[in-house]
Homo-oligomer: A and B are copies of this chain.
């Protein structure tokens, strides 16, 4: 356990707004609740949800300062009375709740049921890139869309955080994977990860290409990680009886008109529901244990495009907001 009244370095916001609201603070280290692990943060992944919460999403009415950072790899330094299965000193990784203080700090509290031992073959910097995107892709493809061997899966932004894990999971499950990307680094990553068809969407109309590649039928599973126009045009890539997944949740008036006749399913994938509604927290721990095994077997690899210093978190937000980050950005904290 930590000393009483121990303080910690944190990057936090005291108001919602642009990246400039992220500032350095000395704050009290958190005290673990009944089900929590207190984790000493060694590294923290960044995700688009960071800047969305920074702008106010999911955070209305929360007391300031608010600490972001929803991916962590680190070492257990304490725990609540109801925790089982962990010991002080364990090296763990997790996706902290989106509606509690996160890991842009030296310490973070995370519901132990959502935590797993980190992959042994990865250091903290690489392990910290995996939890949020892996849980998102795993829930979406394996638990909800239930991809089957031989199915054709379209993954948008295959070079992105969720996308590059989604390609690997779909290939591991015997699917044919089509994917979209545009930067040279992302196009190369998609190929390296084994995508069967890599579509440079700046040069090729992805709807037409998908129709060509599927005999006009579309894909059984379409995973949109982008939203906006990509979502609307994805409606034209779904096969009969197909499943369209969005982890972005774009509003669209075209949803029913396109998907009803196809007898299709629209899956809204929001991995944060575990934290927001307190439902089935164990499911995240299970996914992270299974993912760690895949990583240690060499079957799942994170791609890190840049390691940032603790002082560069605001810069990380700006890069994510500009788009086209290949793989993941991660912050080395310790």
Contact = CB atoms under 8 A, between A and B. Distances in A.
B246 A250 contact: no
* Listed residue (A144, A251, A272) with the most chain B CB atoms within 10 angstroms of its CB: A251
Interface stretch (A113-121, A176-184, A258-266): A258-266
A18 to B, nearest CB: 24
A253 B256 contact: no
A255 interface: yes
Contact of A263 (B259, B260, B269): B269
A279 B271 CA distance: 32
A263 B253 contact: no
A265 B279 CA distance: 16
A249 B256 contact: yes
A276 interface: yes
Contacts of A322: none
Copies of this chain in its oligomeric complex: 2
Given A240-B279, A256-B249, A279-B240, A273 B265 contact: no
Given A240-B279, A277-B240, A279-B240, A259 B268 contact: yes
A280 B252 CA distance: 30
Interface residues of A, number: 33
A267 interface: yes
A276 B251 contact: no
A241 interface: yes
Contacts of A254: 251
Contact of A268 (B249, B256, B268, B270): B256
A265 B267 CA distance: 4
Contacts of A270: 260-263
Contacts of A273: 240-241, 261-263
Interface string A188-201: 00000000000000
* Listed residue (A260, A262, A279) with the most chain B CB atoms within 10 angstroms of its CB: A260
Contact of A276 (B240, B252, B265, B279): B240
Contacts of A240: 273, 276-277, 279
A254 B251 CA distance: 7
A272 B261 CA distance: 8
A263 to B, nearest CB: 4
Interface pairs A-B: 4 shortest CB-CB: A249-B260, A263-B273, A240-B277, A266-B266
25 contacts: A144-B265, A240-B276, A241-B273, A241-B279, A241-B280, A249-B256, A249-B257, A249-B260, A251-B254, A251-B255, A251-B256, A252-B255, A252-B256, A255-B256, A255-B266, A256-B268, A259-B266, A259-B268, A260-B268, A261-B276, A263-B272, A263-B273, A265-B266, A265-B267, A266-B266
